Structure 1
Amino acid sequence: MRNKFITGSCILISLIHLAHAQEPLQPLPEKVPLNADKVSLGARLFHDQRLSGNNTIACSSCHNLSTGGTDHTAVSSGINGKQGEIRAPTVYNSAYNFRQFWNGRAATLQEQAQGPVTNPVEMGANWPDVIKKLKMDPGYVNAFKKIYHQNIDMNNIVDAIAEFERSLSTPSRFDDYLRGKTTAITPQEKHGYDLFKSYGCVACHNGVNIGGGMYQKMGVAKDYFKDRGLPVKPADLGVYQVSKLEKDKHVFKVPSLRNIALTAPYYHDGAAQTLDDAVFKMGKYQLGIEISEKDRQDIIAFLNSLTGKTLDTNKTASLSTQP
């Protein structure tokens, strides 16, 4: 009898795992192989203002880890208060994106970390000056020699930052649900997830990162930019900025929905201030339908279940050395 019970339980567990394996969304890995020394060094660099031209801006200035990995503005302010043209995406779970930046111009986290340092609107520095400043810090000199067995250089700096960003994984209650714990989310959240699938949101927001795995045009069903009423800026052109192909105009990397409740405003231009507005407009411009208020609230409940544990900026910032 006991063996039959065990066998039955194993079959039930297997069926549960099989059902969840067929879901369009997959859970984050439970363990991520990381180099702890690189992560620690990368955290220091991520918060170090010496990577900017005037020692006032760090990666964490726009990617605040205690506010969802972004800065809650439609456009970020860089060196000397200069403003960019696009909303800073979250760095949380960015390791699971198939490309980096809204227009996908970086293939790796290393490439992504390299760009803002020399961007005149963002950090406004140059690599020789940054390296010179860091070499004046014995702590950095020793750390780079220990980890990389060589002096400080650009490639090792961005490699350490990228390793830190790989550590920024935020499993949520929904991941527990995907692994078979049916009580991890509420009935409303479960219904919201069912709606999320039935409306077709999973066509773009799928996989481990619930997005971040493909490009899509902003305004598949209706002209978003015409209705927005604002002049089209270069940043609105999306992948076209990189490819120069007409078909890529207004095409962007689909953003991850993980921690979406923490990262308002929404879209590349920050034009949606609330999740309700964002879900409504996604229905209108991407799916060509009007999602009812009741269904929107249930979908938002599901989106809230995607919030994982994020870091405290004050704690991680203490890792950084100051000039």
Structure 2
Amino acid sequence: MKHLTPLLLVSLISFQAQATDWKALPDSAPAPADNPTTAEKVELGKMLFMDPRFSSTGTVSCNSCHNVMEGGDDSRSVSMGVHGKTGGRNAPTVWNSAFHSVQFWDGRAPLLEDQAKGPVANPIEMGMKDVETAMERVKTIPGYKTVFDKAFGKDSMTVENAAKAVAAFERTLITPNSPYDKYVKGNKTAMNKQQVQGMNKFAEAGCTSCHSGAAFNGPEQKLGEGFYVMFPTFDNKYVSKYKLDEDKGREEATGKATDRGMFRIPTLRNITDTAPYFHNGSVNDLAEAVRVMAKTQLNSTLAEKDVNDIVAFLGALTGEYPEITMPRLPATSGTSIIAD
């Protein structure tokens, strides 16, 4: 067994005491005071999110790894970036990411605005020299100036505003009104008998110790203030089988040995649409993921009936996806910004 810090133990006990505090997903996502969500920002952000021309090869956009036309991920164990390069972590869904208090598996980005900048200059992901170079590409496309002007005013084509626009778009990617949401709001026919049994077992088993709150991603925190848990906590056959302890977790971001194996709690919303599972995408079956979590985090072996009931309950966390239309991207005239 790995050792938990006293603070983490106290926090887990606190979560368990609130296990029956079921919350519905809000209809809107919180935004920082300096970046209120507007329709103009959302329009610009969606264009930038979908445009692959801001990768070094012109082949990778934000949507390549976080496909909002599906589950908000790419269905791969680990994502593929420029030149076919692959990273070491699974792409988390962008749906409901606005409800995370920090971004990335290791929480290295406090806000969505910070996260939006990261992949652009990552040599494995979008492969640009830096975000400023990517912004220079944006500026060479005349049609983008008009959209920036509408969203932020004149002379607003900056890296910071581009990131704010992408973040504003991502804050519209929420999926309320799942069967679970309707159930906790009072419609007791919204979930079937097995899903209700799974909901009760989910709490009884201790899953809500970490997967609490409206987004099932841990306790409510201020934007930019993360909360992390150790994964895996208990050593067993699953740890070696799925190589769960090979990633240093938050230690990669902080350099602190005490952060080894610590991860931000992922949301369970729409989890039936986001296989494969875990930070390394090593488990491709939701029932198996439930077994793994029970054993590695709670040191518990669940009966198969309980596994099936919990999986049924997790299916009730899939909400209503808003309609997403692909934007018309502004073109360059008589030249390419990608060609050498």
C-alpha deviation, 1:84, in angstroms = 0.5
> Is 1:279 paired with 2:290?
yes
Q: How far apart in 1 are the matches of 2:108 and 2:269?
A: 22
C-alpha deviation, 1:113, in angstroms = 0.4
> Is 1:26 paired with 2:48?
no
Range with bigger deviation, 71-80 or 214-223: 214-223
Runs of 4+ in 1 over 6 A off after TM superposition: none
> Is 1:112 paired with 2:115?
yes
> Is 1:320 paired with 2:329?
yes
Residue 183 of structure 2: SS of its match in structure 1?
A: helix
Q: How far apart in 1 are the matches of 2:149 and 2:210?
A: 43
Residue 106 of structure 1: SS of its match in structure 2?
A: coil
Structure 1 letter corresponding to 2:188: T
C-alpha deviation, 1:24, in angstroms = 3.0
CA contact (8 A) 1:66 1:310 kept: no
C-alpha deviation, 1:232, in angstroms = 6.1
Structure 2 unaligned regions, length at least 5: 1-17, 31-36, 220-226, 333-340
Structure 2 letter corresponding to 1:110: E
Q: Report the equivalent of 2:273.
A: 262
C-alpha deviation, 1:32, in angstroms = 4.7
Q: How far apart in 2 are the matches of 1:281 and 1:229?
A: 9
Structure 2 letter corresponding to 1:318: P
Q: Report the equivalent of 2:12.
A: none
C-alpha deviation, 1:130, in angstroms = 2.0
Residue 210 (structure 1) aligned to one of 216, 226, 233: 216
Q: Deviation string for 1:246-265 (max 9, x for gaps)?
A: 22211111110000000000
C-alpha deviation, 1:208, in angstroms = 1.7
Q: How has the CA–CA distance of structure 1 residues 301 and 230 changed in structure 2, closer, same or farther, with 3 Å as cutoff?
A: closer
Q: How far apart in 2 are the matches of 1:163 and 1:31?
A: 12
When normalised by structure 2's length, the TM-score is 0.83
Q: Report the equivalent of 1:65.
A: 68
Q: How has the CA–CA distance of structure 1 residues 71 and 322 changed in structure 2, closer, same or farther, with 3 Å as cutoff?
A: farther
Q: Report the equivalent of 1:16.
A: none
**1:29-178 alignment runs, 5 A limit:** 29-32=26-29, 34-125=37-128, 126-149=130-153, 150-171=155-176, 172-178=178-184
Q: How has the CA–CA distance of structure 1 residues 209 and 32 changed in structure 2, closer, same or farther, with 3 Å as cutoff?
A: closer
Identity of aligned residues (%): 39
Q: How has the CA–CA distance of structure 1 residues 319 and 291 changed in structure 2, closer, same or farther, with 3 Å as cutoff?
A: farther
Residue 119 of structure 2: SS of its match in structure 1?
A: helix
If each structure's helix is expressed as a fraction of its own residues, which one has the higher value? Answer: 1
Q: How has the CA–CA distance of structure 1 residues 119 and 225 changed in structure 2, closer, same or farther, with 3 Å as cutoff?
A: farther
Q: How far apart in 1 are the matches of 2:185 and 2:243?
A: 44
Range with bigger deviation, 46-55 or 297-306: 46-55
Q: How far apart in 2 are the matches of 1:22 and 1:203?
A: 7
Residue 116 of structure 2: SS of its match in structure 1?
A: helix
Q: How far apart in 2 are the matches of 1:122 and 1:22?
A: 38
When normalised by structure 1's length, the TM-score is 0.87
Q: Deviation string for 1:285-312 (max 9, x for gaps)?
A: 1111111111111101100011112356
Q: Deviation string for 1:199-246 (max 9, x for gaps)?
A: 00000000121015431111212257852375965xx10011122222
C-alpha deviation, 1:83, in angstroms = 0.6
> Is 1:298 paired with 2:309?
yes
Q: How has the CA–CA distance of structure 1 residues 167 and 231 changed in structure 2, closer, same or farther, with 3 Å as cutoff?
A: closer
